[in-house]
A and B are shown apart, each in its own frame.
Chain A
Amino acid sequence: MQRIGVFVCWCGSNIAATVDVQAVAQALKNEPGVVFSTDYQYMCSQAGQDMIKEAVAEHNLTGIVVCSCSPRMHEATFRKTAAAAGLNPYMVEIANIREQCSWVHKDIPTGTEKAIILGKAAVAKVNLNTPLTPGESPVTKRALVIGGGIAGIQTALDIADAGFPVDIVETKPTIGGKMAQLDKTFPTLDCAACILTPKMVDVAQNDKIRIFSYSEVEEVSGFVGNFDVKIKKRARYVKEDLCTGCGACVEKCPMKKVPNEFNLGMDNRPAIYIPFAQAVPKVATIDPNACNMLKNGKCGLCARVCTAGAIDYTQKDEIIEEKYGAIVVATGFNPISMDKFDEFAYSQSKDVITSLEFERLTNAAGPTAGKLVRPSDGEHPHTIVFVQCVGSRCENCAEKGKEYCSKICCMYTAKHAMLVRDKYPDIETYVFYIDVRTPGKNFDEFYRRAVEEYGVKYVKGMVGKVSPEGKKLKVQASDLLNNKQLNIDADLVVLAAAIEPDKSARPLATMLTASMDTNDFFTEAHPKLRPVESPTAGVFLSGACQGPKDIPETVSQAGAAASKVIGLLAKDKLTGNPCIASSDENMCNGCSSCERVCPYGAITYVDKEFRMPDRTTKVRRVAQVNPAVCQGCGACTVACPSGAMDLRGFASNQIIAEVDAICK
């Protein structure tokens, strides 16, 4: 039998004004197991806590019920008090008589009656409490960053800066991501490469950071502090340690007609290539789908011109296995496909382009060396129409576009229009918009400059149709403010395509058992208070994989994710939550119901031998809970048909006892 002490808090007048605290203390004195009961003005104060400690010593208490505020407030406080008094901290129960009682009731009789009932329930539970001890697990002091864009780069640099080794896995031959493709960045108009490439070099030179480029994550197992990850390093047919990035092979390669993905197919590259001049690692890669030597064994020119002897046509995919304590997802975004937007004639005319293509078209390192020309004939354009929200904020066209706002398009379109007007004042620029959204530091000023100083013509309304006619593009649009139809003969149409999470995110989320929303953006543990953590312990989110973001936001989130990782890796051991599920193997049927409902992947099955009463052995499939992964949500305990699964600290019999006490 427990020896329970009940401590009823007044919380000043917060509780005492609507609950007769003395009556509560008096009533609970008669409950089974209760040997001491009292009330005090502020139980959480030092004096209140001392009162609890003294009562534990004086009355040999084995359990404590505190009738006070929500356990969210002071459960931890009173558990520490109990521990200091020599009790197991999990022998403490809180009856919430403030948020769920005194604050919601107006008169003392009702409040008091309910407080007594809540107190009885807590007493009934403590009677069945058992001391719990949290488990410990070690931490592998290495982090994995998946994705080598600006988000991944910043996270890796910050983690490495704190002294922990970091690996970056990037599917492309180089890190840099989307930012490496951009021309200028809003709202300051500094050149993207000028601010990004020094960071890329930092990554390359940092001895704490390893880059697995042209690689992908193949398999993830384990749990927070102890992830086992298999990384597939795809064969690039060039020995990374020997290649100097001199580019002789690129120059000599006879197969020069491969669409260049870095320039979004607006020009060609050879079969062996380095995506751009500042690539990190600056190592050539052979495209196996284009290389004659790999396809039919004829050529071998690159091997002959390579003075470093780096070309290796026999290279195979390699699997690297590594242990990590934390994983950061930074898989980024892509513009959506324009295939379903026939009204803008994207597939019919080369002069209808997406905004990312426009970035390459104005970039000094792009296909036209920065000269803005029409892709179809290389002529100077006179009228450019920018269309915003192409596929964004599509409320009724979920099958075509996205319901959400892509967030970055308003600003980059203002930037594009402004840059055009700055460089070529003769070009007329129109921007068609639903709303112009500029909530960011110096964003609205930037947009106003585009309109007021640079004379960009903003038209509220959507473009209905773009039709190629001769050399021109006929743009039919409505001007909603002036309530009239517009017909514009444009030379170039730029579509601000919605952005979506990278396609690799969904399979990755499955591997990580991290949750996603319907748009395939990773969900955060709490939208406001835990924005860079995934609900899966040890998995963190950086950049646009969590939602549309511009560069400043991405970088600050990347830093935040890094600080969370550092906080985790700085620990030698992780203390778990002891209130976790456990399975009684003698009762488990092995039916997998719990495994299927577990959102954390904490449950696995093993075949185990059981000794039967008739001295035979029987092999049965039984569930096992990984205590380091279980978060104690209890979904498994209700899914379990046999009642084998139970939650420590919230066992079924404890819950039923509480219900019984309330209904009595």
Chain B
Amino acid sequence: MQKITLESLVEKAVSLLENGTVTSVLGWKKGEFDYDITPAVFESADELKKDFVWNDFCGANFSKYLVSKTCKSEGKILVFLKPCDTYSFNQLLTEHRFDREKVYAVGIPCEGMADINKVKEVVGDGISKIESNGDDLVVTTIYEDAPVKVTCKDVLAERCVNCKSKRHVAYDELLGEEGEVIASERFDEVERLEKMTPEERFAFWQNELSKCIRCNACRDVCPACTCEKCVFDNPNSGVENKAASNSFEEKMFHIIRAFHVAGRCTDCGECSRVCPQNIPLHLLNRKFIKDINEFYGEYQAGAEVGLRAPLVDYTLEDLEPGEVFDRRDNNA
């Protein structure tokens, strides 16, 4: 259950539209189902009042949309940012990917978003309606006569269970109360994978990644993947249209992508949210984040604008490659 209300967000958006501060609003809109919320651009008060949605399925991180929106539109765009979205916002600013002048950012508190797959585990398929009621979700399905109550806490998305921060690191205006950075247990699962033997770990990833259908949703949603031309779409990169030499090679896509976003990934978790095959892709990125923290000291991408990521910086205290190599041996 979100503490900030839909009405207050719509009211804010309408007033900013009407007083001319912004000319459009980036917000959430119902998709095919109640839980299938999609990002949308609103340009009038009427549209906002009719279609704007704010509920426990508004997980989409809007930061990436600013890249294409700010280079085209003339006026300012209003964007609502949950705490974890603000990290992506800062990281994209650090990389000069959008025009800050054309953005009016409103920070909003977030109590954690629900994972529809966890809801389905409780109530089964065929969901026709979901409504919020206090700390519960009231779910109606086409198979059951009476709606089923599910406690929000029980169906929180993994990234929200392990939320790293309820503090906004960027905004022009803040609605509701500011939270704090949280000492989360987000690396526990990575540690479990690290403790596996190489064979076990390979089997784990082969099992997970073999589900991949290469829909590219993870790349398309990722706020770190904003390249003008992705290497996977680039005929000069040597990887496009390359025949896989074995069944696992195609899945190198995810490992290459993890390398490409290493040091820039803010751990927003969008990759895992949008994966239609439910592959825990965030674990690959978290492994890199954990390694960077251990090798070069704590580093949170996007914590501030202009931070120099350890992988593209050099200090005398940096670990020697040999020490990294030794650690690999100890792990194996």
Contact = CB atoms under 8 A, between A and B. Distances in A.
Contacts of B312: 593, 596-597, 639
B95 A592 contact: yes
A596 B311 CA distance: 11
B140 interface: no
Contacts of A597: 312-314
B313 A596 contact: yes
Given A586-B228, A590-B97, A593-B312, A653 B72 contact: no
A586 B229 contact: yes
A576 interface: no
A643 B234 contact: yes
A653 B236 contact: yes
B241 to A, nearest CB: 15
Contacts of B72: 616, 618
A620 B98 CA distance: 10
A398 to B, nearest CB: 13
The majority secondary structure among interface residues of chain B is loop
B275 to A, nearest CB: 22
A198 interface: no
Interface residues of A, number: 25
Contacts of B71: 618-620
B290 interface: no
A643 B231 CA distance: 7
Interface in B218-234: 226-231, 234
Contacts of A621: 96
Nearest to B71: A618
Interface in B61-97: 71-72, 94-97
Contacts of A620: 71, 228
B238 interface: yes
A588 B231 contact: no
A587 B228 contact: yes
A609 to B, nearest CB: 11
A592 B96 contact: yes
Contacts of B97: 589-591
A285 B72 CA distance: 58
B308 A589 contact: no
A642 interface: yes
Interface string A574-615: 000000000000111111110011000000010000000000
Contact of B95 (A587, A589, A644): A589
A641 to B, nearest CB: 6
Given A596-B312, A642-B231, A591 B237 contact: no
A591 B228 contact: no
Interface string A323-357: 00000000000000000000000000000000000
Contacts of B308: 596
A653 B231 CA distance: 13
B81 to A, nearest CB: 21
Nearest to A622: B228
A518 B95 contact: no
A589 B226 contact: yes
B264 interface: yes
Contact of B228 (A588, A605, A619): A588
A416 to B, nearest CB: 37
Nearest to A591: B95
A643 B228 contact: no
Nearest to A597: B312
Contacts of A605: 96
A653 B238 contact: yes
Contacts of B229: 586-587, 642
A644 B228 CA distance: 9
A597 to B, nearest CB: 5
Contacts of B96: 590-592, 605, 621
A366 B95 CA distance: 58
A132 interface: no
Interface residues of B, number: 24
Given A589-B227, A591-B96, A518 B238 contact: no
Contacts of B201: none
Contacts of A518: 316
B260 interface: yes
Contacts of A592: 94-96
A642 B237 CA distance: 10
Q: Which of B97, B227, B264, B314 has the most CB of A within 10 A?
A: B227
Contact of A656 (B95, B230, B238, B316): B238
Interface in A540-575: none
A656 B260 CA distance: 17
A587 B235 CA distance: 12
Interface string B36-74: 000000000000000000000000000000000001100
Interface in B180-239: 226-231, 234, 236-238
A214 to B, nearest CB: 36
Q: Which of A518, A619, A642, A656 has the most CB of B within 10 A?
A: A642
A593 B314 CA distance: 13
A158 B308 CA distance: 43
A232 to B, nearest CB: 28
A237 B192 CA distance: 73
Q: Which of B236, B308, B316 has the most CB of A within 10 A?
A: B236
A641 B225 CA distance: 9
Nearest to B306: A592
A295 B140 CA distance: 84
Nearest to B261: A641
Contacts of B264: 641
Contacts of B227: 587, 589, 641-642
Nearest to A605: B96
Nearest to A657: B238
A656 B256 CA distance: 15
A619 B74 CA distance: 13
A654 to B, nearest CB: 11
B228 A642 contact: yes
A513 to B, nearest CB: 14
A639 B96 CA distance: 15
Contacts of A644: 228
B87 to A, nearest CB: 16
A620 B70 CA distance: 11
A642 to B, nearest CB: 4
A491 to B, nearest CB: 45
A618 to B, nearest CB: 5
A113 B238 CA distance: 28
A641 B260 contact: yes
A619 B96 CA distance: 12
A642 B229 CA distance: 7
Nearest to B99: A619
Contacts of A639: 312
A643 B227 CA distance: 9
B59 to A, nearest CB: 25
B315 to A, nearest CB: 11
Interface string B252-284: 000000001100100000000000000000000
Contacts of A619: 71
A581 to B, nearest CB: 15
A643 B95 contact: no
8 contacts: A587-B229, A590-B95, A591-B95, A593-B95, A597-B312, A621-B96, A641-B261, A642-B230
Given A587-B227, A597-B313, 20 more contacts: A586-B228, A586-B229, A587-B229, A587-B234, A588-B228, A589-B95, A589-B97, A589-B228, A590-B95, A593-B312, A596-B313, A597-B312, A618-B71, A618-B72, A620-B228, A641-B261, A642-B227, A642-B228, A643-B237, A656-B238
A-B pairs, top 7 by smallest CB distance, nearest first, are A591-B95, A642-B227, A587-B229, A639-B312, A590-B96, A643-B231, A593-B312
